[in-house]
Amino acid sequence: MPTLYDITVDDIHGKPVKLSRYKGKVLLIVNTASKCGFTPQYKGLEALYQKLHGKGLEILGFPCNQFGAQEPGSETAIETFCSMTYGVTFPMFAKVDVNGERVAALQAPQVVEEGHARLRRDQVELHEVPRRSPGQRRRALRAPDRAEGARGRHREAALMRSRILARAAAALLAAGVAATALAQADPAKVIRAVFPTAETGFDPQAAGDLYSNAVNRVIFDTLYKYDHLARPYKLVPNTAAALPEVGDGGKLWTIRVRPGIFFADDAAFKGQKRELTAHDYVYAWKRVLDPRMRSNSMQMFDGRFEGMDELVAAAREGGRLDYDRPVAGLQAIDRYTIRLRLKFPTPS
């Protein structure tokens, strides 16, 4: 299998560069974009490069337009932007694809470095970390241990409370005060989950932290869910009527929503029952694409659906996503049928 140093890439001027020229160096390879919320990190990368380049660090920037169409310009425009705005001097290269049929060799599912396979499917965005004193660093390193200890104590306390409540319920029933107890769930069958930090919100498109999403998974119904009791576990329909129908070599997916599912009553529905439809899922997915949402789920959509990049680019240009604009890759073709068209095959 090829090593990293066997790969040849084009620099920002279109000239081929063999990565073997960087052998023996410490490499930080970064996917970049000029219109991303993290674009200002060019400044931090350049500062890091200036500080450590003389000690063997090389930073290689590879622009990519597949993260929400955030790098639409030409290589010339990218070079001008980086140098004029952030004074970038570390090597920049031609735009690459990180997924799809034209995925760059550097981004291929397996790149062998010095004989070791390394998975590269997930892209990493760098986040600035505030400086900490040595004491703060030690406390930060101990935090996971404290959190795990706290979770253990909370589990024990929750178990003890459930036993007490179960005994109390039995006593009430024995005393003939059964009405209130029977209206509640069996305490012995209630799991109480304790979060070490508070949730940040319950908008599934906007939420990005572990604990908010743990609650969201209980509140919102997905098309499919896992049957964890099956062996082996398997994906089964939830609000979908059946598993997807896959055609065109894995590029065309048809999903049918099960009729007769209704939203919980809400004032927004003005006293009318509101049925779940295919259009609800398409609208929810378009909210992920909306640049104003800055959704962490965008990575699951980037570059995958026909017409998606054009919709996002127009939203960035005009400052607003047109939810009524048809997207070839995300369609509700009738009340209960979703049709997805992918740019490249995805196995079922």
Neighbours of 334 (CB within 10 A): 13
Tell me the domain boundaries of the chain. 4-119, 134-196, 217-341
> Any catalytic annotation for residue 36?
yes
DSSP 143-182: HHHHHHHHHHHHHHHHHHHHHHHHHHHHHHHHTT--HHHH
Mean pLDDT of the chain: 79
pLDDT value of position 47: 92
314 is written with which tokens?
A: 């127009």
pLDDT band at 175 (very low <50, low <70, confident <90, very high): very low
Q: Which CATH number, 3.40.250.10, 3.40.50.300, 3.40.30.10, 3.30.300.130, labels domain 4-119? A: 3.40.30.10
Range with the poorest average pLDDT among 10-14, 186-190, 223-227? 186-190
DSSP state of 258: P
Give, in degrees to the nearest 5, the angle at Cα 281 between 280 and 285: 120
257: Cα within 13 Å, side-chain hemisphere: 23
Look at 58 and 102; give whichever has higher pLDDT: 58
pLDDT band at 156 (very low <50, low <70, confident <90, very high): low
Give yes or no for a contact between 13 and 121, defined as CB atoms under 8 angstroms apart.
Answer: no
SS3 content of the chain, % helix, strand, coil (to 5): 40, 20, 45
- Using DSSP bridges, classify how beta strands 245-247 and 337-341 pair: parallel, antiparallel or unpaired: unpaired
- Cα–Cα dist 64/106, whole Å: 12
Q: Which residue has tokens 């995805």?
A: 346
pLDDT band at 231 (very low <50, low <70, confident <90, very high): very high
- Cα–Cα dist 265/272, whole Å: 8
pLDDT value of position 140: 40
pLDDT value of position 318: 92
CA-based nearest residue to 12, from 91, 100, 108: 91
Q: Which fold has domain 217-341?
A: Dipeptide-binding Protein; domain 1 (3.90.76)
pLDDT value of position 215: 87
Give residue-wise pLDDT tens across range 279-291.
Answer: 999 999 999 999 9
Q: Which range has highest mean pLDDT (84-93, 219-228, 334-343)?
A: 334-343
Give yes or no for a contact between 26 and 111, defined as CB atoms under 8 angstroms apart.
Answer: no
pLDDT value of position 141: 41
pLDDT value of position 277: 96
pLDDT band at 130 (very low <50, low <70, confident <90, very high): very low
Burial class (CB in 10 A: 0-12, 13-18, 19+), 174: exposed
- pTM of the predicted protein model: 0.52
**Which of the residues 36, 60, 64, 289 is marked catalytic?**
36
Burial class (CB in 10 A: 0-12, 13-18, 19+), 134: exposed
Across the range 194-201, mean pLDDT stands at: 78
